[in-house]
Structure 1
Amino acid sequence: MRPSAIFRAFTGTYLLLRFRSGREHVVEIVERPARTLPSAEFKKLQQACRTVVAACLDGRQLDYGLFAPDGSAWERSVVTLVRRAADGCPIAFNAMPLLSVRRGGLPDEVLHLGLVMVDPAERSGGLSWILYGLTCFALFVRRGLRPLWISSVTQVPAVVGMVAEIFDDVYPAQAGTRASFAHQHLAHQIMQGQRAAFGVGADAGFDPVMQVITNAYTGGSDNLKKSFAVAAKHRDDRYNRFCAETLDYERGDDVLQIGRLDVGTARRFLARSVPRSAVPQLAVQGIVLAVQAVVAPLVQWLSADKPLGRLRAAR
């Protein structure tokens, strides 16, 4: 990690990390890149993501989420980009929009796991822990270890199972978890006002009991529709059966999963998902984020002889 990047990670308002993950990959995690990055760096990030999309879709592009014509998703998303260390070529990215909701009468955000695209030639490279868990873990630490609600919209059994196994209090598809008021309330708000974030049109239906979006592939995500035979399966057949029995793949259904990321989730991620070779580098990033989120504000707050500015308690 370059000294300039470390300085910006400590002092920036939003999450910004760049580091090398092992010998083969360089990782960049940027929260709200349209606000965080200088213009030239922002344009390079946009082009890198388009390069990955073209590799995945035989030269075609998407027209929703990050790639919607208005470009507003770059203002509210956390983007993780993975490059090959050898030549700097972009090979994968994940775009996680932060969805505005209200919880307990107060404004809050849900982290939507969003669009993941990996160059077909690189899909056996073990990138899942970076594209899914690492970004969530970094944002969780950056926000002072406060519980963070997450959402996921997919028809892929492997993703349904991954969400159910990584996160806590996930509904549906996680054994033993029932739909609570929080699940239903967040799902209702997401479907009412955030459909564009995951490419679901206004004409799509929604079953609030099962949290299934019917006819979901009409709002820009048309190129991502799959048959059950083609969709990647999970190693645990329970999730494959759940998708086969719950979703109509011919019509184009998706399941909307709502869950939570907390300290227990982070502990399991570190223990189960992170390769041992990446632990030292991840520890360095965790320390940087912890200082930024917890230690630095505490030190400044204890400096009674200096103006607190934004750190001063609200009246």
Structure 2
Amino acid sequence: MINLLWRSGRNLTTRIVERPGLALSAEELQALTADLRTVAALTLKNEDLAYGVLGGDVERLKNCVVTIVYQGRGKGVAPCPVAFNVLSLLDVELAGRPTQVMHLGLVMVDPSFRGRGLSATLYGLTCVLMFLAGQGRPLWVSNVSQVPAVVGMVAETFSDVFPSPRPEARRSFDHLTLARQIMGRHRAAFGVGPDAGFDEAAFVITDAYTGGSDALKKTFEQASPHRMEVYNAFCRERLNYDRGDDVIQIGRIDMAAAGRYLRKVAPPTTAMGLGGLVVIMAARMAVLPVLYWLSANRPWGVLRPWKEAN
């Protein structure tokens, strides 16, 4: 399981822990939860969230990946948590086989640190590491949000995302199957109550803020806009902010998405960007095809070492 801590910027460090409820001791888990609540208190001020890890759901910590960004971690310096993401691992079935969807989950950033590009670390980096830890198999991801900046980030970063204003976006049977299962079995993972509706044609959750996530409801003016107006218009037209609607997006993290993330966050002119792209290209051209070929008895989803004859 992933349990990493490294410098991620000037005076910043990032920690990623997979399934902390299983990987950490009781004391470590208590400290981790306290860090999450510290950021939540800075973000929500006097309001509380009543779902997930912030609502005391210990079982949720056994089926999630936690990413926390700290300021000032170092020798003799007490670290201060400034942002986090809790990515939930949802058990579903697809094509008759059990699989997992990584739900992008709850993200909070200290207001004084917003606009510093932390979302790329909180969302993309964690997903790329989980993708690589899974030996490069494409992984399904989901996102529930009414914030144009987040909706656009998901559409621009991941592959095969629906819904999206991008012209190539199409709803497949897999998209619909996964969305139905997530809405039927995993509403608690993102604080949506049983009374909320689900528009299967538009992939919109109606009256979504009824299951413990009330403090996250925003007006369109309060929601962070995306730099590209097409995503702002998409959310404005599709969602009823007075009622409290969310869009549910389904996509995949694959080799192409991992490459896009590295090119965006770590430009190829930097050592990190160049090294990351070399690793991605080497895996694409040599390592993964051999791995797929030798693992004939292991399911790899849509990946095959050869094209099947028509």
**What is the TM-score with the length of structure 1 in the denominator?**
0.83
Whole-Å separation in 2 of the counterparts to 1:244 and 1:60: 26
Whole-Å separation in 1 of the counterparts to 2:198 and 2:4: 37
Offset, 1:282: 8.4
1:53/1:59 contact within 8 Å kept: no
Deviation string for 1:216-263 (max 9, x for gaps)? Answer: 000000000000111111111111111111100000000000001100
Q: Secondary structure at the match of 2:36?
A: helix
Whole-Å separation in 1 of the counterparts to 2:169 and 2:117: 29
Q: Secondary structure at the match of 1:42?
A: helix
Residue number in structure 1 paired with 2:305:
none
Whole-Å separation in 1 of the counterparts to 2:113 and 2:186: 31
Offset, 1:85: 2.6
Residue number in structure 1 paired with 2:19:
32
| Count of aligned positions | 280
Match 2:232 to one of 240, 246, 249: 240
1:41 equivalent in alignment to 2:33: no
Identity %: 51
Offset, 1:49: 0.3
Offset, 1:171: 0.4
Whole-Å separation in 1 of the counterparts to 2:47 and 2:222: 19
C-alpha distance 165-149 of structure 1, shift in aligned 2 (>3 A) = same
Question: What is the root-mean-square deviation in Å for CA atoms of aligned residues?
Answer: 2.4
2:266/2:273 contact within 8 Å kept: no
Deviation string for 1:107-132 (max 9, x for gaps)? Answer: 10000001100011111322121101
Residue number in structure 1 paired with 2:79:
88
**What is the TM-score with the length of structure 2 in the denominator?**
0.85
Which amino acid is 2:190 matched to?
A: F
The runs of 5 or more residues in structure 2 that have no matched partner are 299-310
Residue number in structure 2 paired with 1:305:
none
Deviation string for 1:163-200 (max 9, x for gaps)? Answer: 00001100001331110000000000000000000000
Whole-Å separation in 1 of the counterparts to 2:275 and 2:248: 30
Residue number in structure 2 paired with 1:189:
181
Offset, 1:266: 0.5
1:50/1:61 contact within 8 Å kept: no
Deviation string for 1:40-70 (max 9, x for gaps)? Answer: 2111111000000001011433111212343
Q: Secondary structure at the match of 1:52?
A: helix
5 Å-filtered alignment, 1:43-122, equals 43-85=30-72, 87-122=78-113
Residue number in structure 1 paired with 2:116:
125
C-alpha distance 252-282 of structure 1, shift in aligned 2 (>3 A) = farther
1:169 equivalent in alignment to 2:160: yes
Q: Which structure has the higher relative contact order (CA within 8 Å, separation 6+)?
A: 1
- Name whichever of 48-57 and 268-277 sits farther off: 268-277
Offset, 1:280: 7.4
Which amino acid is 1:60 matched to?
A: E
Residue number in structure 1 paired with 2:260:
268
Residue number in structure 2 paired with 1:279:
272
The runs of 5 or more residues in structure 1 that have no matched partner are 1-13, 303-310
1:259 equivalent in alignment to 2:246: no
Whole-Å separation in 2 of the counterparts to 1:26 and 1:152: 25
C-alpha distance 101-156 of structure 1, shift in aligned 2 (>3 A) = same
